[in-house]
Chains A and B, each alone.
Chain A
Amino acid sequence: MSLSPPHAAPDVAGATVPRRLRFWPRQRPGWTVMIAAVCLALIVIVAILAPWLAPHDPLEMSPANRLKPPGTDYWLGSDAYGRDLLSRVLYGARVSLIVGIGSALISVVIGLPLGILAGFFRGLDSLIMRVMDGLMAIPSVLLAIAIVSLISANLWTVMAAITIPEIPRVVRLVRSVVLSAREEPYVEAAVSLGSSLTTVMWRHLMPNTLAPLIVMSTYICASAILTEAILSFLGAGIGTETPTWGNIMSEGRTYFLIKPSLIFWPGIMLSICILSINLLGDAARDRLDPRLQKRGGAQ
C-alpha cells in the first residue's frame, strides 16, 4: 500500500479539526512564499521610489549613446534611442502594478454584487450568466485590442479593456459560493428569524465569498499584468512615452539578435513579479480555501 488514499479518517476527522479556517498561519509559511513576498515588496518599493532610484530620466533620448552595452553610466546599457534601460525598467514597474491592482479591485467591485444577485435571484441569474458566458467567450486579448483600437490607448482604457474580460470569472466564483452557501441551514435559520434580504445577503452570504475572492483577486492581478505586457508587446498598449515592461520589449524586438538584454531584463522583472503574485495567491488559497484548487491559477 504505497498509494496514499487521502481519505479523511472517519472517526477522527470532524471531532478534532476546527472547521473555521484561520487567516494567519499557525506555522511559518514556506520559504518560497517568503521569497515571493520579499520580491513583491521590493518591486512595490521600486515602483514607488522610481524617480529617486533611477539614474537617468527614462524618456531622455541621447542619439550618441544608442544601444550601449552595460557600463558605469548605463548599468544595463541603453536602448535604440539612447535611453537608459535600467531607468525605463524601474519606471515600468509602476504601470504593471497599477494595472494589476486596479484590475483586481475593479473586477471584484463590479463582479461581487453581480455574483451575489445572480446566486440569490433565479430570475436575474439566467440573464446575468448569459451575458457573462458571452463575455467569457471573447478572448481577452482580442477584446482589449478592439477596445484599444476604437478608443486611443492610455492607462485607463487599457485597464478597462483588461478588466472587462476578468469580471465574468469573479461573477461565476461568487455565484457558485452563494449558491452553495444559501443551502446552508444557518441561512435558512436567518430567514426564519425574520432577517431581511439585505441582512441575509450581507451578513450571512457575502462573508463566505471573501476568502475565495482574496485568492481570485491575486490571480486576476497576475493575469492583468501579463495581459498588459502582451498588449504593449503587440503595439496595442500604452505609448512608449510611458515606459512599461511590455513596450520596452516591443521596441527591443527589432534588435533582439544584437542586443537580447532589451527583452530579457524587462522579461525577467515581469516574470518575477507575476511569479511572486501567483505564489502568494497559491499560498493564500491553501490557507483560506483549499477547495479553490480546482479553479486553476492565473489565466
Chain B
Amino acid sequence: MFSYCLRRTLAAVPVMVVVALFVFLLLRLSPGDPAAIIAGDMATPAQLDRIRETLGLNQPIYLQFFHWAGELLRGDFGTSLMSNLPVTQLMAQRLEPTVSLALLSIVLSVVVAVPMGVIAAWKHGSLIDNAVMSVSVLGFSVPVFVIGYLLIKVFAIDLGWLPVQGFKRISEAGFGPFIRHAILPALMLSTIYIALIARMTRASMLDVLGEDFVRTAHAKGASETRVLFKHALRNAGVPILEVIGTGFALMITGVVVTESVFNIPGLGRLTVDAILSRDYPVIQGLILVTSGVYVLINLAIDLSYALLDPRIRYQ
C-alpha cells in the first residue's frame, strides 16, 4: 500500500512539470514580445528592458525555464499588471468565496446525483431511468450561464425569494446570509456535475449489476436494497470517484462563469477581470494553481482507491 501511494504521488510530479512547461512555452513561443505581454501596453522601453533582464530573455531557453520554475517554487508568481500586487496575494484574497462555493456544489452534486444514478440503474429501462437520463443529457447540453439566468429570472426576479447577485462570506456575515447568496450559484454550478456523476453512477452500476458476485448475492437470498447498496454500489465506486475527480475541470469552468453571472468576488471573477485587462501574469498564475489543485484532487482520489479496494491495498 505504501509503495502504491508513493508511486502515485511521484507520478503526479511529471504531470505538474508538463503543465509548467506548457504554460512557460505558451508565453515564449507566442508571436510577440514576452516582455511586452508581461509588462502590458503602458510600459516604457526602460521598463521593458528591466523585465527582459529579470526574465533572462537573453539566456538560452532552458535556463529561462529553470529560472522561471525556481521562482514558482519559491511562491513568486509575478505581479499583476492592473493592480501591481503580487499574483499570489490577489489569489489569496479571492480564495474563500470560490472554495466555499465549490465545496457546497460538490456536496450538493454527490448527494443528488449518486442516488439518481443508482435508482436509474436499478430500474433500468423504466420511466424513472429515462427521466434520469433525460435530465442528465439536458444538464450537459444547456450552457451553464443560461441555467444561471433562468434561475435568477425565476427565483430572484419573478418570485423574489433570493438575492439576484452578490455574495456574503461565511467568515464575515455568517452561515445564513452565505447560504442565501450561495444557493443559486451552487445550483448553477452543480447542474453539469450532477449530470456527469449521475450518468457515470448509472453506467457503472449497470456494469456491476451484471457481475457474477451480484448473482451470488441474489442466490443467497439478499434483498434488493442489500444487493444495491451493500454489494453493488461499493464496487461501482471507483469509476464514480474518478469522474468526480476529472469532472473537477468542468467545475473550474463553471466557477468562472458562475462568479461572473452572480458577481461573486472569487477566483473566477479574478479570471474574467484578468481577461478583460489582458493581465497575463494573473492568468498564468490561475492556470498553474488550478492545474495544481486538479492534480492534487485526482491524487487524493487515486489514494482513496486504496481504502476502497483491498486488491490495491495489498499490492
Contact = CB atoms under 8 A, between A and B. Distances in A.
A150 B30 contact: yes
A147 interface: yes
Interface string A1-26: 11111111000000000000000000
In this complex, the member of B145, B152, B284, B286 whose beta carbon has the largest number of chain A beta carbons within 10 angstroms is B145
Contacts of A64: none
A202 interface: no
A145 interface: yes
Interface string A117-161: 000000000000011011111111111011111110000000000
Contacts of A8: 210
Given A1-B218, A5-B218, A296-B200, A138 B19 contact: yes
A217 interface: no
B140 A297 contact: yes
B140 A141 contact: no
A148 B246 CA distance: 24
B283 A146 contact: yes
B190 interface: no
A236 B196 contact: no
B26 A236 contact: no
Given A151-B32, A278-B141, A296-B200, 13 more contacts: A3-B224, A138-B23, A139-B249, A143-B287, A227-B253, A233-B260, A256-B152, A267-B146, A274-B142, A274-B143, A278-B137, A278-B140, A293-B203
Contact of B137 (A143, A257, A270, A297): A297
Given A3-B218, A267-B146, A297-B196, A279 B252 contact: no
Interface string B31-56: 11000010000000000000000000
A226 interface: yes
A230 B153 CA distance: 20
Contacts of A151: 30-32
A150 B37 contact: yes
A76 B188 CA distance: 27
6 contacts: A227-B253, A234-B257, A294-B207, A294-B239, A297-B199, A299-B250
A134 B18 contact: yes
A249 B200 contact: no
B141 A146 contact: no
A111 to B, nearest CB: 17
Interface string A255-299: 011001001100110110011001100100000000001101111
Interface string B237-261: 0010001001101101100110011
A275 B147 CA distance: 14
Contact of A134 (B15, B137, B252): B15
Interface string A204-242: 000000000000000000100011011001111000000
Given A149-B275, A297-B199, A299-B196, A134 B140 contact: no
B170 interface: no
Nearest to A272: B141
A115 B144 CA distance: 31
Contacts of A131: 18
A298 B215 contact: no
B124 interface: yes
Contacts of B88: none
A105 B177 CA distance: 48
B114 interface: no
B271 A147 contact: no
Contacts of B138: 275
B306 interface: no
B18 A299 contact: no
B15 A139 contact: no
Contacts of B187: none
Contacts of A141: 252-253, 256
In this complex, the member of A3, A130, A236 whose beta carbon has the largest number of chain B beta carbons within 10 angstroms is A3
B140 A274 contact: yes
B98 interface: no
Contacts of B260: 233-234
A8 B206 CA distance: 13
B163 to A, nearest CB: 14
Interface string A150-174: 1100000000000000000000000
A8 B210 CA distance: 8
Contacts of A282: 137
A139 B252 contact: yes
A253 B272 CA distance: 14
In this complex, the member of B200, B209, B286, B291 whose beta carbon has the largest number of chain A beta carbons within 10 angstroms is B291
Contacts of A235: 272, 275-276
A151 B17 CA distance: 24
Contacts of A2: 224
A246 to B, nearest CB: 8
Q: Which 6 A-B pairs have the closest CB atoms?
A: A134-B18, A267-B146, A275-B141, A139-B252, A3-B224, A150-B30
B134 to A, nearest CB: 8
Contacts of A278: 137, 140-141
A140 B246 CA distance: 12
Contacts of A234: 256-257, 260, 271-272, 275
A294 B210 contact: no
Nearest to A150: B30
B228 A3 contact: yes
